[in-house]
Structure 1
Amino acid sequence: MLCNGQLNGELIYRVTALRLRCFHDEADKFPSGFLQKFINLIMLKVTCSSFTYIFSSGSECAGHSETTMKLRILVLVQLDNLEFICEEKSEVQSVIQNIETLSVHRCSRLKNIVPSSAFFENLEQLEVVNCGGLEYIMKSSTITNLPKLRKLCIDFCEKIEVIVASDDENDASELSFMKLGYLRLNNLPRLRSFCKGRHDFKFPLLRTLFVINCPMMETFSNGMLNAPKLIEVRVTPQDDRWNGDLNTTIKKIAVKRNSTDD
């Protein structure tokens, strides 16, 4: 009824959480226009559906809906056809601008988490689990689109080789995650480094770093690292390592792992 517009102009005030499951429509775009009826919607979860896009420039709610100003939590689970969370269009900005938590699970065709034109100005937590098609999480040019990111968790993504893909391999500019305090890299069999480029990285608040079951990772990054509050790297929930700085610690972990394998 919601998707077909059968509620006419009626607004729904009391619903703050909405779960949509098993939508297998001919349309490839999520019918987000009806969200504007949920004036106080805070959490949206979409599962087991066939959408290619969630938010697009053609959405009725893009650009003006009161609802999109309040959406704080977006959870996407087992969307086998999903390629993009939102299009590379400025019109979708109001849809995502207040999202604080984004969780993406088992979306095997997903190609992009953070489009270059999307400014997740309030995103604090990003969790990506079992997304087998991803080769990276974000490009270096989009880090500034995540100014409030506090927690980043990447788990069981079999193709990921880097977390940050450099737009220019010769660019040695400094990149900063000013609010990031928790970073977990878990069961990433092809991960080689956080970033392959020459960028320097600044993590002024990073205290907790997990690097678990990342057998190809031998260095964190090629540039200078500034993480003054980090004093350990956890290789299991119980076991931590530290050798003076982050790159040295990652290298020592790799050496010990390789010697154990031999």
Structure 2
Amino acid sequence: MECSELKAFILRPPALSVEMNEQTIGFDKGPYSLFDKKVILPNLEELRLRGVKSRELWERESICFHNLTSIRVEDCPHLRNLFTMSIAKSLGQLQYLGLGGCGEMESICFHNPTSIRVEDCPHLRNLFTMSIAKSLGQLQYLGLGGCGEMEYIVGREEEKPEEAANKIVIPQLVTLYIHKMPKLKSFCHEKHLSEWPSLKQLSVEDCKAVKMILGDMSCRKLGGSIPMKQPLLLVEKVCTHFL
């Protein structure tokens, strides 16, 4: 099915299907992919899905969604993976990624969006791999909440001894909002450093297990009211000024 002029695609209940050019994409497809290699939407810019019961959105083959700028997925209880890394890399125009209410979600792959918001995904243990975190050169906003099993936002990877002290720099991040993360300990594992030189807004709420969020000199533009000589910026001190 090819819809070369379609710019936005919205699928949500109570509709059982969405018809396009006399062809139908089913609403409840069980274990099958919602989009297969027969679906070609070369000019689609916005994709919004809600209440879809599929376990996968895409087949592993490459799909023609190269102009997508915004993806929002909500209340998809059986969805386990958003898309593969190969599909993520093909979405070079993606600017916004929003995900919420996906109880079985286990992993998310994406390629350098400007805004990410993830809410209420209790099985999600990490948001980024180390390699993805190092490639987030355009990320400006990160909102994360309600992911009860997550201990580190950046997951650990097998590493060589000489790479044990990896540094993560997210140069354009301006806003970081984290809330209702009961097991969250830190942004990344203690062996790694994170720097956010453009950070201006930081909010951390209801994260009782957090030990540290920021490393030394990680957010230069938050200076003035926060002592930068400390090796760690404690969450309590940061929240005093920015909540």
TM category (shorter chain) comes to: 0.7 to 0.9
Matched, 1:163 2:185: no
Residue pair 1:183, 1:209 contacting (<8 A) in 2 also: yes
Which residue pairs with 2:99 in the alignment?
104
Instruction: Give 1:175 deviation, angstroms.
Output: 1.1
Return the alpha-carbon distance in structure 2 between the equivalents of residues 87 and 219 of structure 1. Answer: 31
Return the alpha-carbon distance in structure 2 between the equivalents of residues 145 and 35 of structure 1. Answer: 29
Residue pair 1:207, 1:231 contacting (<8 A) in 2 also: no
Which shows bigger deviation, 124-133 or 241-250?
A: 241-250
Residue pair 1:80, 1:108 contacting (<8 A) in 2 also: yes
Return the alpha-carbon distance in structure 2 between the equivalents of residues 19 and 189 of structure 1. Answer: 33
Matched, 1:185 2:181: no
Unpaired stretches in structure 2, ≥5 consecutive residues: 14-26
Instruction: Give 1:30 deviation, angstroms.
Output: 1.9
Matched, 1:30 2:34: yes
Q: 1:43 aligns with which of 28, 41, 46?
A: 46
Instruction: Give 1:158 deviation, angstroms.
Output: 1.4
Amino acid corresponding to residue 79 of structure 1 in structure 2: C
Instruction: Give 1:26 deviation, angstroms.
Output: 4.0
Return the alpha-carbon distance in structure 2 between the equivalents of residues 168 and 132 of structure 1. Answer: 24
Instruction: Give 1:91 deviation, angstroms.
Output: 5.6
- Secondary structure, aligned partner of 1:165: coil
Instruction: Give 1:54 deviation, angstroms.
Output: 2.0
TM-score calculated relative to the size of structure 1: 0.75
Q: How high is the sequence identity, in percent, across the aligned residues? A: 20
Instruction: Give 1:74 deviation, angstroms.
Output: 0.4
- Secondary structure, aligned partner of 1:44: strand
Which residue pairs with 1:207 in the alignment?
200
TM-score calculated relative to the size of structure 2: 0.80
Which residue pairs with 2:58 in the alignment?
55
Which residue pairs with 2:138 in the alignment?
148
Instruction: Give 1:108 deviation, angstroms.
Output: 0.9
Return the alpha-carbon distance in structure 2 between the equivalents of residues 19 and 137 of structure 1. Answer: 25
Which residue pairs with 1:73 in the alignment?
70
Return the alpha-carbon distance in structure 1 between the equivalents of residues 87 and 100 of structure 2. Answer: 26
Residue pair 2:148, 2:183 contacting (<8 A) in 1 also: yes
Which residue pairs with 1:82 in the alignment?
79
Amino acid corresponding to residue 107 of structure 2 in structure 1: N
Which residue pairs with 1:236 in the alignment?
none
- Secondary structure, aligned partner of 2:54: coil
Q: Alpha carbon RMSD of aligned pairs, Å? A: 2.7
Residue pair 1:162, 1:191 contacting (<8 A) in 2 also: yes
Residue pair 2:30, 2:55 contacting (<8 A) in 1 also: no
Unpaired stretches in structure 1, ≥5 consecutive residues: 233-240, 257-262
Matched, 1:93 2:93: no
Residue pair 1:44, 1:74 contacting (<8 A) in 2 also: yes
Q: 1:86 to 1:136 in 2, by over 3 A?
A: same
Which residue pairs with 1:132 in the alignment?
122
